[in-house]
Structure 1
Amino acid sequence: MEAQELAELIQGLRLRRTDTAQVEAKSAVRGLPKNLVHSLSAFSNTAGGTVILGIDEEAGFVPAEGFNANAIADALAEACSEKMVPPVRATISIEEFEGAPVVVAYVPELATSEKPCYIATVGKYAGSYFRGHDGDRLLKPYEIDRLEENKYQPAWDLEPVREAGLDDLDPDLVVKILERERTIHAEVFGKLSDEKAMKSLRMVVEDEGGKLRPTLAGLLAAGIYPQQFFPRLNVTFAAYTGTDRSSDSRGQRFVDTASFIGPIPTLVYETVQAVARNTRLGGVVKGAFRKDLPDYPPVAVREAITNALMHRDYSPQARGSQVQVDLFVDRLEITNPGGLYGAVTIESLGKYGISSTRNQHLSALLEVTPSRVAGRGFVADNRGTGYAEIIDELARELLPPPTPRDSLTSFSLTFLRRAMTEPERAAATFGGNKELIISYLREHYSATSRELAAAAGLSQNGVRKILNQLIEEGMVERMEALRSPKQRYRLVESIP
């Protein structure tokens, strides 16, 4: 390590007066600290880090008196190779700092397929650590199991649901899935009976008694009510009044809450609808045309929800956790159990050729499962392009990319809300422009809220608010029943 880099690391410790997530310093005057193996494990399992020995933390991160650099360097090298599984391939050197020798070791992060790194004498479940901002933390068994899954292909989606039978599958969905397979793979599925085709798709398997049971993948993709067997394999939605989960000054916490049930096609559809009904649909008018400006593009929301349900952790330990969708006044957060799987990292998300599928049979089924979302033929394309489509859709709407957050236990995407247009800002502040709406209705016998929104440059929600005011004032009247989807509005005849 260069002298300047070492000086900057130690200066950073002095400023913070403590170790950091990337640097661990110890005096090691009385020998190699016994708990240093915790840091070796933690750095290996997290993002790597640097160990500096011969620095006295209690004295303000100055060189430790009586430090034997050669002996400590040898002891550290032995600990890395003999006390850790797998061995830690640290780069160890003796450097000079403020006229005194110190031992510096850079511990690289292990490849995903090699984690966890643990202390040999206590074993994997008692000796695997993770590095946080405040030091080393013992990994929980669930986190260790998720790391272990990166070494092989999980098969939780193939697990038979022993309490379920064929009558728990939606016959309409099953027929459409089989029709799709027989269309695109006629040479294979055209020769198979329905039962054999369902077995081949891993929608069903035979139990020990020879009875057909839906697999978890089959139930999630085409079940009538999967939550009968797994109550928390659903989506919960909450729209909050502010920027956090606390109540506002009136004691109100939620604008809307819902718990969605059913197979994945239904979960995706109902979640997209919930986001849409609780957000603005603004617009800009260019000539005779209006361009809708949703707070969150429906295509991006759909892909994010689909990815969360398709790639979440379905291991037994995670089946008590749902996909959570939280809508705040400034952002949308979508969180699923289980972090990124396999070779995929936050840095590689959306990049061509880098894709890993935790639930490969569920993903394959969703590729041929009809979608309920308009404009989408099937639930998923299963080609590793979902995240790229999110980025592209946001870019088309001149919105920033989402912020991903990944841990061993969960993954989340955060979307920022679209900024208000000038007309929307005016409507929010002053109640909108009634004159534009009245002027349009004078020139047209009647109009829909969408047409009036285009004319006034407002969101449909903003226009409806003004229309309700005009109706109360007796200036405008509805032409259809209150909640009719064909609703039109016109001026009351007495209005000059």
Structure 2
Amino acid sequence: MEPKVRPLFTVCEDELRTDKRAKLEDLNSNALHLYFAKIRESKAQLAALEDERILALQGIIQEGQPTVAGEMLFGIYPQSLFPQYSIMASVVPGRKVGEIGSTGERFTDDKRIEGTLAQMLDEAVTFVIRNMKRKLIVDENGKCAVGSEYPVKAIREAVLNALVHRDYSIHTENSPIRLLMFDNRIEIENPGGLYGRGTINKLGRVDLDTRNPYIAGALEIMIDSGKRYSGIPAIRYEMSANGLKPPVFESRQGVFKVTLYNEVLSDRKDGVTDDAIIAFCAVPRSREELAREFGFSTPTYFLKNHVKPLVDQGKLALTLPNTWVRFMPACRCPAPGADAASGKRKARCQSCAAEWIRSSPESCPADRIRGPRKAGRPASAGPRW
């Protein structure tokens, strides 16, 4: 007797299951008429078939009853059968759930989004647009334009990905899609991790297995959702084109999550930001520590292209002038003024956040962590970039 061979994964047909409460009257007739017109135009093989036959072949009905796919695509109110097949959208006043706003609120906006897949897609994108920050952009010619915090196309593709590829099995009927907006990012997570043989590293680079092919195929016809497998590359492209940090994709414990950050990257191709370098130098760092932290094998290129511009702009300073020892954020002390009580000059140093009494205008509060200049290199020579 030959041993049974276990398949790599079990083919999922949860979108084709039916609920005994579902009826054909639950489906929106106007939406079906539009669908029939589009599918007959795009698929010649189905043009001569009767409506009911088309619905059966496209997974909309099974044995005269609407399937999960049919309800979610064309239902008058799909949540009457599946209340949690919805989107829970919230805006958090901070960077983690639980932080409280200035007036004690946990969420500055909170909404349960319901309807068909197409309706939830539109409403979720509208929710994000309503709560996004706006920025005024002035070009070289002095013309002004209003920019958004996140590219709308990336948001749409991320929400669409969650709706199409979520798990529609009975095991997730109590699990909605979650959309959370934080101060620095948006998280969109759906029940159901990566399906089939897919891995995070393969996302957007190879054609992966589709959990819900009937839903995906119907949306391609109904709302022009684009070529299948193009969603992840589109998200990556839109974030890059807008100069934002690359999206992060995670799949663990039966949940798939997309995180979009609003952090603007520099124009450099390596993606290292000025803010990241300055933050790392909150504690004085050596050239070797800087290069190693940002993934450069040798410090020469990194120092020339990243650190030197910050020093020239006064955003970083050498802890020992004109030498290669360590870097720290530049001291931003205001011009010293006279202290009437002591007769000494007094200024506030933002680098150390403390009041310093200075006996002469030439000294700097940051001298507290500076030592005597390292011998062996003349002051006039300057650092080697």
Q: TM-score, normalised by structure 1?
A: 0.50
Aligned to 1:225: 77
Aligned to 1:328: 182
Q: Does 1:389 align with 2:243?
A: no
- Offset at residue 157 of structure 1 (A): 0.4
Aligned to 1:316: 170
Q: Does 1:250 align with 2:108?
A: no
Distance 2:95 2:103 in 1: 15
Aligned to 2:56: 199
One-letter code of the match for 1:259? R
Contact 1:355 1:384 in 2 (8 A): yes
Aligned to 1:189: 46
Structural mapping, 1:4-15, within 5 Å: none
Contact 2:185 2:260 in 1 (8 A): yes
Contact 2:245 2:263 in 1 (8 A): no
Distance 1:252 1:160 in 2: 41
- Offset at residue 413 of structure 1 (A): 0.9
Aligned to 2:201: 347
Contact 2:56 2:62 in 1 (8 A): yes
Distance 1:190 1:288 in 2: 55
- Offset at residue 268 of structure 1 (A): 0.6
Distance 1:384 1:408 in 2: 23
Aligned to 1:338: 192
Structural mapping, 1:261-272, within 5 Å: 261-272=114-125
Distance 2:27 2:151 in 1: 32
- Offset at residue 412 of structure 1 (A): 0.5
One-letter code of the match for 2:136? G
SS class of match (2:222): coil
- Offset at residue 281 of structure 1 (A): 2.5
SS class of match (2:201): coil
- Offset at residue 284 of structure 1 (A): 1.4
Among 345, 352, 356, which residue is 2:209 paired with? 356
- Offset at residue 419 of structure 1 (A): 4.9
Distance 1:185 1:388 in 2: 27
Aligned to 1:305: 159
Structural mapping, 1:31-110, within 5 Å: none
Distance 1:382 1:322 in 2: 26
Distance 1:165 1:332 in 2: 37
Distance 1:290 1:369 in 2: 37
- Offset at residue 402 of structure 1 (A): 1.0
Flag as ranges the 4+ runs of structure 1 deviating above 4 A: 288-291
Among 22, 25, 43, which residue is 1:164 paired with? 22
Structural mapping, 1:9-24, within 5 Å: none
CA RMSD of aligned residues (A): 2.3
Distance 1:213 1:369 in 2: 21
| 1:328-362 C-alpha deviation (Å, 9 max, x unpaired) | 111100010111111221111110x3321011111
Distance 2:21 2:203 in 1: 37
> Aligned pair count?
262
Distance 1:288 1:177 in 2: 47
| 1:146-165 C-alpha deviation (Å, 9 max, x unpaired) | xx8x6122000011232111
Distance 2:227 2:217 in 1: 7
Aligned to 1:239: 91
Contact 1:240 1:326 in 2 (8 A): yes
- Residues 294 and 190 of structure 1: CA distance in aligned 2, closer, same or farther (over 3 Å): same
Contact 2:189 2:256 in 1 (8 A): yes
Contact 1:364 1:382 in 2 (8 A): no
Contact 2:245 2:264 in 1 (8 A): no
| 1:65-111 C-alpha deviation (Å, 9 max, x unpaired) | xxxxxxxxxxxxxxxxxxxx99xxxxxxxxxxxxxxxxxxxxxxxxx
Distance 1:242 1:151 in 2: 40
Contact 2:135 2:148 in 1 (8 A): yes
Among 21, 30, 35, which residue is 1:177 paired with? 35
Q: Does 1:404 align with 2:249?
A: yes
Distance 1:329 1:313 in 2: 29
Please say which of residues 247-256 and 233-242 is displaced more in the overlay.
247-256
List alignment gaps of at least 5 residues for structure 1. Answer: 1-84, 87-112, 115-147, 207-211, 371-377, 421-496
One-letter code of the match for 1:297? P
One-letter code of the match for 2:21? E
- Offset at residue 318 of structure 1 (A): 0.8
Contact 2:125 2:152 in 1 (8 A): yes
Contact 1:217 1:365 in 2 (8 A): no
Contact 2:193 2:251 in 1 (8 A): yes
- Offset at residue 289 of structure 1 (A): 4.8
SS class of match (1:175): helix
Aligned to 2:9: 151
SS class of match (2:202): coil
Structural mapping, 1:403-422, within 5 Å: 403-419=248-264
- Offset at residue 190 of structure 1 (A): 1.4
List alignment gaps of at least 5 residues for structure 2. Answer: 266-385
One-letter code of the match for 1:392? Y
